[in-house]
Chain A
Amino acid sequence: MRIGFIGNLRRGSLLAVLLMACCVVFAQEDSTATAGDSVKLKATAGITLAAADADSADISVNKVPLKFIQKQPYVSVQQMLKGNVAGVYVQEPSGEPGTEQNIFVHGIGAPLLNKKDLFEQQAAVFINGIPLIRENPFAYEVQKFDINRIGPATNLYSILNADNIKSIEVIKDPASLGFLGPMAANGAIWITTENARPGKSTFSVNAYTGVVPAEKVTPLNANYENQFRTPFYDRYATLNDRLRYPAFLRDSTNANYYGPSDWTDLYYKNTPVYAADFSLSGGVERANFRFFGSAMKNASDVDNTSLSRYAGSFFINVAPVKWLMVSSMINFTRLARERNRNIRDRIAEQGYIPDLTNPLTPNKSVYGSYLGEFGKVVDDNISNSIQGYLALSANIGKVNYDGRLAFDYNENMRDAFWPTTLLEGNNFVSAYFGYNQRILLSNTLGYTFDFSPKQSLTIKGGQSVTSDVNKYEYASGFNGPNDFIKINMVNGDPSASDYLIPKGFQVKYYPARMESALVSFFGNAIWKMGDALSFNAIVRRDGSSFMQPDSRWFTSYSGALEWNITEHLLTPGKTLSALKMNASWGRLGKLLSDDRFSGGAIYRVDMGWSGEPAMGSYVGIPGLTRPYTSGWVGYGMPWAYNDKLMVGLNAGLLDNRIQAGVAVYNRDDKQTLLPIPVASEWGYTGVYKPGLVVNNKGLDLSVNASILEERAGKLGWVFNANLNYNRNEVTALPDGLQELVLGTSKLETGKPVDAFWMFENNGIYASDNEVPLNPNTNKPLSYRGMALKAGDPRWTDQNNDYVIDEKDKVLAGNYMPKLSGGFGSTLTYGAFNLDFQFYYVGGRNVLNQYAANRLDFVNVEANNDINSVKEITFWEKKMDLSGYPQYNPWSSVLPYRADQDLFLDNASFLKLRTVSLGYDFSKAKNPSKFFEKFRQSLVYITGTNLLTVTKFKGDDPELADYNGVYTGFGLRMPRSVIVGFRLNF
């Protein structure tokens, strides 16, 4: 399979290279022959976004301010977006470089119950019009724990270098999204890279280097933990409980645990970061090129983690004849990740929970010798990513043609080996190879009717085919012969009796492959009435192979109206220099991520259980049944879609010195599939039904104000700010249900889709007679029949039936923020500039499972499961736990269960994300001859992640999982200080 594919790719790329070579030859001939002849066309990506773009050239509120980003050591698209555009919310659950981060535009259209949902709710990222393919979540099906995806789990949106980007725009308006099709239904991040340009050859070099200083934390030793637990033992423990006092705390003379806690020196370290890139471009009108190359290492001070990136891009634009432009791009990136050494992440992959009774010690020498064992570890995580296209743009009179053949391919490899010393005398090896491949072919033909000099109508029609393959092969093995043989050796002789039979390791092998295709036809009409009014309408029909044959096609339509009020009604004055209104509406089909719905009623391998999800046989014979665990899939599954409305007003004041944009939106996600719980007596965990409707409504606000104009010898001040307010609500559930319990979550119409479902906590019963008695039965308030006692929590009995059970849980809080955005300023004085950026999130909660687990030490330790893992950061004071009531941790009502509002924390915060000070030599008063050659010659120093203001008691409110659970396992976000320069000439 793999060979076949590479063969295909090779053939494809050979074709592309040949074509490019032809173009170059063509161009060379042409450029000599027709020098000076003007060409009407610009470099093309084979797709032109509709004109009714919410951003017009003069007022730009939906673009990321790249001039800041280019001085910051951020590596992923998500990090570049964070806090920079209204309406985009980025989750960064761990500060570990290169790990997955999530992008949401204007809220979520369905609850995030597991990582698959996360896949279906995120915005799409386009690079030069190519929608990037993502890792499909189907790999989670063979995993016991979905903490990390198997494989390198690298953030594939880390492939872009800010210096190679011309613009990052967030597309939120329904009309433009409608033009982009179903992949963009959740919003689009539209990235345009720098491209080749005709004219003087340019060369630029940018570089920075810096350090991530070691975080200063408060280390703890066993004495602290002992003192923390003692009151619980004094108050509630039985003799038997005391006898089971954990071994690592029992002996206060044990210097390993009770001695000095100096592990932090080995865990938090000053770490260098660096990056360098250069670009070269040149050529003439008819043929030009650009090359970009970069190398970068992004690192964290935590646990020796880092991400290295090597990237190169090559662009050629050729106009073989005046009316035809041929453009091409090849963008190659290699990402290598040094991952954390968390025990939890490791045993989650191994699927084997060792005895966790004794944690790592806070003692440096013992911890150091443990880390020494990592010398035997292999943990290679490589991702290669390549994007490219060959695009044509032809312009013959009023006829326009855009076409492209584009591909996005990434392959992800991981080799892991952990020696016997790290896992109870067993070693573990795993190998992963996976690729995601997208081939896209699209054609657009347009014709413009000019009715009068002012009125025109452009009609476009087009078609596209997107073909995706997601594939992985994963093998893992336990118990190899020794720690020196780190691979699984097999006999490769097909005639041998032990052909490919593993020796030494016990190997489990999981291959999976999924193919999909999306075929689209669309029509687009743009009617322009001068500069004052334009109307844009799009109709498209998309067919997805993931849909059932009878509902394979979906018609989306959208339209936009743009009204330039200043042009139409007012004369542009100095005070009100520009005023534009736009309104757009669209109905956009949404794609599924999984091929298991396309066949209707299905059979699959479902012989596993929670401890062994991938069990595929019984006495070695494979079996197929209905999909009891994943849920019944019936027929008549319609496309999910969303209806979006957005109305915006953009204004420019004082000669556009102050630009402001405000937009209100309403988004209804409809017919979303949901596994509805049905009577268990049919064996299914749920039945997939469409009918979930989630409404998001909100407001985007952006301001960009030049408060003090930049003038020689004067202070200049530009202020920018953006804000998004969003609230969501479940407006309908499938089958007309009013409420629905899905595992540990509940959906209720009229309530937020991202609420936590929990008990209301009102303190503690200090004695048994404080527990209220049911006047009818004279029995005390109970937890499902077991009377509450002294030391149990006071949970509100919502339905007053004197029984605390699920019916008393309420929906509270929300894990998506109500308010998010950023603000900052640029101050300039002569050649100096200083800028700073704040990022804030408000009206968001997290569930503090970290605190719950620390307090529930009795059960967490006894259960010896994945939640019982104590990382080395167990010995770090992440939060003060003294504010919690002192319940009886041995009580069978689970007093420290996480699903109560005791652990619902306000996770609003304000962060000073970056401060940057620069000096631009080319702007200096008397630039020396040397610097006159440069268009830009800037040196700067930037600090990131400098300050956090929050009420949250844990280490960082951002470090919560996608579903708002703060576990304390996320690595701290690195602070960094870099110095760099940017040279353009």
Chain B
Amino acid sequence: MLYKLKFVFTAVLFGSLLFSCNKILDKKSSRIADEEGSWQSFENARSGLIGIYGLFRAALADNNAHWMWGELRAGDFRSVSRQDLKAVVDGELTAAYPLLEKVANWRRFYAVINAANVFIERVEGCMADKRYTEAYYKLDIAQARALRAFAYFYMVRIWGDVPFTTSSGDGGNFEALPRTDKNKILSFAEQELIAAADNLPYLYSGSDPEQKFPPNYYGYGQGTWLNAPVTRLAAYALLAHIAAWKGQYTEVVIYTDFIENNFSKSNVSASSVAFITSPSGLFSGDATDNYRQLLGFRFPKNQKETTITGHIEQLALANTVNFAMSKQLPDIYVPKDVIAELFPSAAGNDDRFGYDNRYTPPLLYTTYFENYNAEIPVFKKIRVLDGGTGTGSYAVFNSSIIFTRLEELRLLRAEAYAAIGDDGKALTILNSLRSNRNLKAVSLSENGDVLKDIFDERRRELMGEGWRWYDIVRYNRIRRNDPEFNKLLDNDGIYWPVAQDVLTRNPELKQNTYWK
């Protein structure tokens, strides 16, 4: 009997401890979302769309690449002592510095494109959620297509011919794609933007008499969105730039005229120099009424998106007499002779920077630069530290990466008129911008080179905004009067080399001929 009891006891012990194990093994991860339950709801669609924007910002912010590509090469900035930045400035883009290899890598753009492709393929499923209406669907698709077109355009500017796909390839074999002709890609981008533009509003969560767009978009008001998502105006701005990059200036005129006639619908307005350089002004990501970033990427402090990298401030700012920072010397600076050449104002009449000789010692207008009297001046046009309240000791930044703003597009419009031979119209536009900067008007009889005046004005106005290199390229494409630069144009030397890592991964690719 006792023996039996022991067996029962043991059996019960053993049995009681066995239980359903597959149930135990079904652990849902709290850190990731798997396929099951994705693309089914309103929130899924929002996350997917915001993801594309986030990846785009990351692509431009990583290693401050937006400025490596657009601002430094052959531009007005010089490196103080960083050899890798010097190599970019000098156009030695295959130098051994790790930074260059990273900046030459286009993977992050393809992450944007892939995320957009996945979104376009899958977001339809979210309509199962009643809150995700047709209006949302159309608007979101239009944004994804516009972002994808934007990413392709941005890449073509840097690398020329790049591989092209509109498929997510999800779960596929990640095949190696060959390069596609840059003009084909640009044409695709144009068609996409034209198609998307009609489905994009001028304002998100704005007044919408047609009742075409979702009100209170994703539950956020107009002041949250501002112009962070792609608006119809932004789509036209991109179209204008694509046309300009292709040299089709008649089209640029059409698009920029459209922008000129409609910008107020996006609450966009012109910026004064004071507003541009104010820590809570144009570049601030926190103001709830800053619609002047026509197309760009914000880093709002209030949303905990304060970062150290991804801002020109990280490279250009340093301690000045007026603004104490721990960093004694900047990484990059605009040499004094370049400043003097750009702002030749004898009477201090440029709001951006001036040197008024009527006073002794001469009076400095330090809106763009401080420490002008030192060997290395500090470029401080963009200085949004710690939400604009920073004293300079804590070097974290919130300035937005602005792709374009009204002044930029007006200068492009002037450029387009000049390029098609309408110097008068170009001059009118230019002079109106000049007068906004307290510069006297230029006239045709004075020096006769309107195009150069326009590009000089771009150089001053857009300094530090990632335009300089592309401006040089467009200017030389129009002029073709610099034999050295013509070589670059003819041999694809205007493009960046492709990172070794990218080439290793894709056997279909060959290095750009210029960099072989």
Residue ID in chain B nearest A247 by CB atoms: B328
Residue picked from B46, B54, B225, most chain A C-beta under 10 Å: B54
Please pick, from A552, A608, A621, A806, the residue contacting B218 in the complex, using a CB distance under 8 A.
A621
Residue B323, interface by CB 8 Å: no
Contact A625 B55 (CB under 8 A): yes
Residue B462, interface by CB 8 Å: no
Residue ID in chain A nearest B111 by CB atoms: A683
Measured between beta carbons, the chain B residues less than 8 angstroms from A351 are: 308
Residue B275, interface by CB 8 Å: no
Nearest CB in chain B: distance from A48 CB, A: 16
Measured between beta carbons, the chain A residues less than 8 angstroms from B24 are: 465, 467, 517, 519, 545
Contact B52 A625 (CB under 8 A): yes
Contact B84 A859 (CB under 8 A): yes
Residue ID in chain A nearest B13 by CB atoms: A403
Contact B298 A552 (CB under 8 A): no
Residue picked from B25, B108, B303, most chain A C-beta under 10 Å: B25
Please pick, from A425, A479, A687, A858, the residue contacting B326 in the complex, using a CB distance under 8 A.
A425
Residue ID in chain B nearest A461 by CB atoms: B14
Nearest CB in chain B: distance from A757 CB, A: 13
Measured between beta carbons, the chain B residues less than 8 angstroms from A399 are: 7, 10
Residue B203, interface by CB 8 Å: no
Measured between beta carbons, the chain A residues less than 8 angstroms from B48 are: 603, 623-625
Mark contacts of B268-300 with chain A using CB atoms, 8 A cut-off: 1 yes-contact digit, 0 otherwise.
Answer: 000000000000000001000000000001101
Contact B13 A443 (CB under 8 A): yes
Contact segment of A29-37, A527-535, A886-894:
A886-894
Residue B472, interface by CB 8 Å: no
Contact A355 B326 (CB under 8 A): yes
Interface residues of A in 585-636 (CB under 8 A from B): 595-596, 598-604, 606-612, 615, 617-628, 632, 634-635
Residue A573, interface by CB 8 Å: no
Contact segment of A107-115, A272-280, A505-513, A843-851:
A505-513
Measured between beta carbons, the chain B residues less than 8 angstroms from A677 are: 501, 504-505
Given contacts A683-B111, A859-B84, contact A610 B10 (CB under 8 A): no
Residue B57, interface by CB 8 Å: yes
Chain B interface residue count, CB cutoff 8 Å, equals 114
Interface residues of B in 1-20 (CB under 8 A from A): 3, 6-7, 9-10, 13-14, 17-19
Contact A859 B83 (CB under 8 A): yes
Residue ID in chain B nearest A547 by CB atoms: B25
Contact A679 B506 (CB under 8 A): yes
* CA gap between A549 and B26 in the complex, in Å: 8
Contact segment of B162-170, B246-254, B345-353, B442-450:
B162-170
Contact B96 A897 (CB under 8 A): yes
Contact B27 A515 (CB under 8 A): yes
Residue B258, interface by CB 8 Å: no
Contact A892 B83 (CB under 8 A): yes
Please pick, from B19, B25, B30, B331, the residue contacting A514 in the complex, using a CB distance under 8 A.
B30
Residue ID in chain A nearest B309 by CB atoms: A611
Contact A623 B327 (CB under 8 A): no
Interface residues of B in 463-516 (CB under 8 A from A): 497, 500-502, 504-506, 508, 515-516
Residue A785, interface by CB 8 Å: yes
* CA gap between A806 and B502 in the complex, in Å: 12
Residue ID in chain B nearest A243 by CB atoms: B375
Residue B130, interface by CB 8 Å: no
Contact B82 A441 (CB under 8 A): no
Please pick, from A599, A680, A784, A890, the residue contacting B29 in the complex, using a CB distance under 8 A.
A599
Residue A392, interface by CB 8 Å: yes
Measured between beta carbons, the chain A residues less than 8 angstroms from B92 are: 786, 892
Residue ID in chain B nearest A610 by CB atoms: B62
Nearest CB in chain B: distance from A632 CB, A: 8
Residue ID in chain B nearest A806 by CB atoms: B500
Residue ID in chain A nearest B6 by CB atoms: A396
Measured between beta carbons, the chain B residues less than 8 angstroms from A513 are: 30-31
Nearest CB in chain A: distance from B234 CB, A: 15
* CA gap between A977 and B96 in the complex, in Å: 49
Given contacts A785-B515, A786-B92, contact A600 B34 (CB under 8 A): yes
Residue B305, interface by CB 8 Å: yes
Contact A138 B31 (CB under 8 A): yes
Residue B81, interface by CB 8 Å: yes
Interface residues of B in 73-116 (CB under 8 A from A): 80-84, 87, 92, 94-97, 102, 105-108, 110-115
Contact B96 A894 (CB under 8 A): yes
Measured between beta carbons, the chain B residues less than 8 angstroms from A897 are: 96
Residue ID in chain B nearest A518 by CB atoms: B25
Residue A684, interface by CB 8 Å: yes
Residue A426, interface by CB 8 Å: yes
Contact A635 B33 (CB under 8 A): no
Mark contacts of B19-53 with chain A using CB atoms, 8 A cut-off: 1 yes-contact digit, 0 otherwise.
Answer: 10110111101111111101000001011111111
Residue ID in chain B nearest A466 by CB atoms: B24
Contact A615 B303 (CB under 8 A): no
* CA gap between A514 and B13 in the complex, in Å: 30
Given contacts A615-B305, A625-B52, A679-B505, contact A479 B386 (CB under 8 A): yes
Contact A741 B309 (CB under 8 A): no
Residue B304, interface by CB 8 Å: yes
Measured between beta carbons, the chain B residues less than 8 angstroms from A392 are: 13
Number of contacts between A and B (CB, 8 Å)? 328
Please pick, from A426, A601, A611, A685, the residue contacting B394 in the complex, using a CB distance under 8 A.
A426
Residue picked from A678, A679, A680, A863, most chain B C-beta under 10 Å: A680
Nearest CB in chain A: distance from B93 CB, A: 9
Residue B127, interface by CB 8 Å: no
* CA gap between A134 and B9 in the complex, in Å: 35
* CA gap between A442 and B22 in the complex, in Å: 17
Contact B17 A443 (CB under 8 A): yes
Contact B58 A608 (CB under 8 A): yes
Interface residues of B in 149-184 (CB under 8 A from A): 163, 165, 169-171, 174-177
Given contacts A478-B394, A608-B58, A617-B304, contact A634 B171 (CB under 8 A): yes
Interface residues of A in 247-293 (CB under 8 A from B): 247
Nearest CB in chain B: distance from A755 CB, A: 18
Please pick, from A601, A604, A786, A892, the residue contacting B31 in the complex, using a CB distance under 8 A.
A604
Contact B84 A396 (CB under 8 A): no
* CA gap between A545 and B114 in the complex, in Å: 30
Contact B29 A514 (CB under 8 A): yes
Contact A615 B54 (CB under 8 A): yes
Residue B118, interface by CB 8 Å: yes
Residue picked from A441, A549, A623, most chain B C-beta under 10 Å: A623
Given contacts A425-B394, A596-B29, contact A621 B505 (CB under 8 A): no
* CA gap between A674 and B30 in the complex, in Å: 23
Residue B393, interface by CB 8 Å: yes
Contact A620 B303 (CB under 8 A): yes
Measured between beta carbons, the chain A residues less than 8 angstroms from B500 are: 784, 805-806
Contact B35 A602 (CB under 8 A): yes
Contact A445 B304 (CB under 8 A): no
Given contacts A519-B21, A606-B51, A625-B48, contact A893 B95 (CB under 8 A): yes
Nearest CB in chain A: distance from B283 CB, A: 15
Residue ID in chain A nearest B169 by CB atoms: A682
Given contacts A619-B303, A680-B106, contact A862 B82 (CB under 8 A): yes
Please pick, from A244, A355, A620, A785, the residue contacting B80 in the complex, using a CB distance under 8 A.
A244
Mark contacts of A549-585 with chain B using CB atoms, 8 A cut-off: 1 yes-contact digit, 0 otherwise.
Answer: 1001000000000000000000000000000000000
Residue ID in chain B nearest A138 by CB atoms: B31
Residue B436, interface by CB 8 Å: no
Interface residues of A in 443-502 (CB under 8 A from B): 443, 445, 463, 465, 467, 478-479
Sample (18) of A-B pairs whose CB atoms are under 8 Å apart: A354-B395, A394-B9, A401-B14, A443-B13, A596-B31, A600-B35, A601-B34, A603-B48, A612-B307, A617-B50, A618-B50, A622-B47, A624-B48, A628-B55, A679-B163, A679-B174, A683-B115, A806-B500
New A-B pairs, 7, CB < 8 Å, besides A354-B395, A610-B63, A684-B174: A355-B326, A394-B10, A443-B17, A465-B19, A606-B51, A682-B174, A862-B82
Closest 6 CB pairs of A and B: A599-B34, A607-B54, A611-B309, A620-B303, A683-B111, A623-B50
